[in-house]
Amino acid sequence: MKGKEKIAHWILRVSGILLVVGFLCVFSPAFAQEENTPVSPVAPPAVNAESEENGVLPQTSLLFTYWEHQALLDAKSTRGAVRTRSQEDPGAAQTPGSSKETPEPAPPPQPTITDREIALGGIAYTSAKEWTIWLNGHRITPKAIPHEIRDIKVYKEYIELKWFDEITNRIFPIRLRPHQRFSLDSKVFLPG
């Protein structure tokens, strides 16, 4: 009899757990949805103050949180857009007779230590006059050589070049193999 009682108690416990989970699924706000409403992977509409006050929240994304999705949409809509001073601060918009002068744009930043590496990505060699190399992620051919390269010789297995460093005003003779880097600051060859 004890075996049958244990089975009966086990069945009651499992059915109780299933009943509680079913109740939570039906009445929980996270799972509440109107019938015949398709689940849309489209972004939720922008939240305005009225919808928050009424307690109506937009449908959330299945892949991103609401805030992550809004950040993605904002980045997508402003891609390539340049804001003017009047768009950044509407109160700072100039009138034609105002005495404020527009500030000059800041000079471009100086290269950092991480920018001061020469990395050879690969060599596509056909002949001494027909080749393509990928240096610092840029495609270089005999007809399109950057101004930093003073002299270059390309071989099947490696390249030899003379690189002019504008910051130190020096010329570095360098021999690089594919997937090899040279640090202009520490003057060390590195893999990758």
Q: Judge whether 3 lies within some domain.
A: no
Query: What pLDDT is stored for residue 131 in this prediction?
Result: 93
Q: Judge whether 64 lies within some domain.
A: no
Q: Judge whether 18 lies within some domain.
A: no
Q: Work out how many domains the chain is built from and give that number.
A: 1
Burial 156-192 (b: 16+ CB within 10 A, else e): eeebebebeeeeeeeebebebeeebbbebeeeeeeee
Specify the residue for token string 């009138």: 95
pLDDT in tens, 117-146: 999 999 999 998 999 999 998 999 999 899
Tokens at residue 102, please?
């527009």
CA dihedral 163, 167, 170, 174 (to 10 degrees): -30
Model confidence at 158, in pLDDT bands (50, 70, 90)?
very high
Query: What pLDDT is stored for residue 76 in this prediction?
Result: 76
Q: What is the DSSP string of 40-76?
A: --SPPPPP-HHHHHTT--PPPPSSS-HHHHHHHHHHH
Q: Judge whether 153 lies within some domain.
A: yes
Q: Judge whether 143 lies within some domain.
A: yes
DSSP state letter for 82: -
pTM: 0.41
Q: Judge whether 135 lies within some domain.
A: yes
Query: What pLDDT is stored for residue 82 in this prediction?
Result: 58
Q: Judge whether 158 lies within some domain.
A: yes
Q: Which residues pair with residue 117 across a beta bridge?
A: 183
Q: Judge whether 147 lies within some domain.
A: yes
Q: In which domain, by residue range, is 119 found?
A: 113-191
pLDDT in tens, 75-113: 777 766 555 555 555 555 555 555 556 667 777 666 554
